[in-house]
Structure formats: structure tokens, C-alpha cells
Amino acid sequence: MPRKPFQLVIFEERGSGDYKAAGIQVYGKDIEVSQIINITTALPEIVDEPEEFITSNFKGDLVLNFLRHPDLSEYLVRLCMDKGIPVIASGQHIPGAICPFTCCGLGRKRGLGAYGEQFGLPEYEVKLMNGRIERLSVRRGASCGATWQVIPKITGCRAEEAISAIGRHVQYICMADPSAFDPVTGKSALHFAGEVHMNALRRAIDKEKG
């Protein structure tokens, strides 16, 4: 009997998670985006009754929270905790949720199934020929798809040049808000995305060189 795909539920506001959902559907394997709940209503500054916008009639193996309104986002996390569904809220700070700085900052964690295996902190495998990138493949990548999309830009580059180049190219593709700064490191989400890809490629090159 075929294995049931990993069921992913996405909550968003006015399409705020569409780019990530598309990346998951293109680059993910054995993952099904079973529901996308898109809230398009104009929201007040304070939402006293979030249950008017978010019902509890959803089920899945993992929830991705791209909601922007803090009242709705926090309510969704409480719902997921009650239902026993893990929830990832990248760039947010909500007790009970997994909150990496960016989607490509998600470390490997138990309980995240096929999504956690395939998406998060990028991991590459590289084949070098005469000091140049002959082949680059993705073991794990950003849900937006940038990890895969930069490969044609890097293939053929000299290894030492490719590390800085991949950071630039990822930043061109990345949809993160460049004004979103981490108060601890002082880095923006855009710069963070570039750096994690540079580090991933550096590790892959070092491994290939032995």
C-alpha cells in the first residue's frame, strides 16, 4: 500500500505564503499541501475574537504560519498546540511554535517529517573538476526554492569564487523583508539567507576536497 504523503497546512494573509507554497510543491517530495487558508479580510489593529477568522476544522502533520497579524498568529499557535500539530512561524517569536529567523534557518528537528528532512538550513553536495563546480545538488534547501534556483549561476565557477557568488545570487531571489533585522546579530533576513547558503556551499566544498 502506497505511503500517504506528508500533509502540510498553510495559513497566510493575502497570499503572504504563496511563494513558499509554490517552492514546496515544486521541490518537495512526498509532501502534499492539503490546505491553504488565506485570510483576505481587512483586519483591525486588535482582533478580539480571532476565532471569527480562524476555525479549528483543519488537520495535518505540520502547519506553516505565514500570518502577519499577531493576534491571529498567536491564536493559531494555541489551536495547533491543542490539536497536537507542530507549527513553524518563521521570523516570529511565539511560545509553542518553532520560530527560526527565516525559513532557511530551520535546523533539523524531530517531528517535522518529510518537510523537516527536505526544507530548512541548506545542505549541498558538490563535485569539483579542476577547481571548478562541475555539479551541485541539494540535500536540503529553502522552501522558497532559492537553494535550487541558484545552481545554474554557480555551476562552472571556481570554488573560491562560488562561495561569495552564491550569497549574492540567493539575495537576489530571496523574498525576505530586507528591513527585518535580528536584534541579536544585527543582520537582516536577506543577509542571513545569503550567509547560510555560503556556509552550506563552503562545507560541501571542504567535504569534497577531503
CA distance 32 to 53: 24
Position 41 scores a pLDDT of: 93
What superfamily does domain 6-99 belong to in CATH? Response regulator (3.40.50.2300)
pLDDT, tens digit (0-9, with 9 covering 90-100), for 112-156: 999 999 999 999 999 999 999 999 999 999 999 999 999 999 999
Position 187 scores a pLDDT of: 74
Task: Return the closest-CA partner of residue 173 out of 196, 193, 155.
Answer: 193
Give the start-to-end residue ranges of the domains of the chain: 6-99, 123-209
pLDDT, tens digit (0-9, with 9 covering 90-100), for 32-90: 999 999 999 999 999 999 999 999 999 999 999 999 999 999 999 999 999 999 999 99
Query: Is 123-209 in the same CATH topology as 6-99?
Result: no
Q: What angle do CA 76, 174, 71 make, to 5 degrees?
A: 20
Lowest average pLDDT, out of 13-17, 27-31, 171-175, goes to: 171-175
Question: Over 90: is that where the pLDDT of 210 sits?
Answer: no
Check: CB of residue 64 under 8 Å from CB of residue 11: yes
Q: Give 123-209's CATH code, choosing from 3.40.1350, 3.90.1010, 3.90.79, 3.30.360.
A: 3.90.1010
Question: Over 70: is that where the pLDDT of 181 sits?
Answer: no
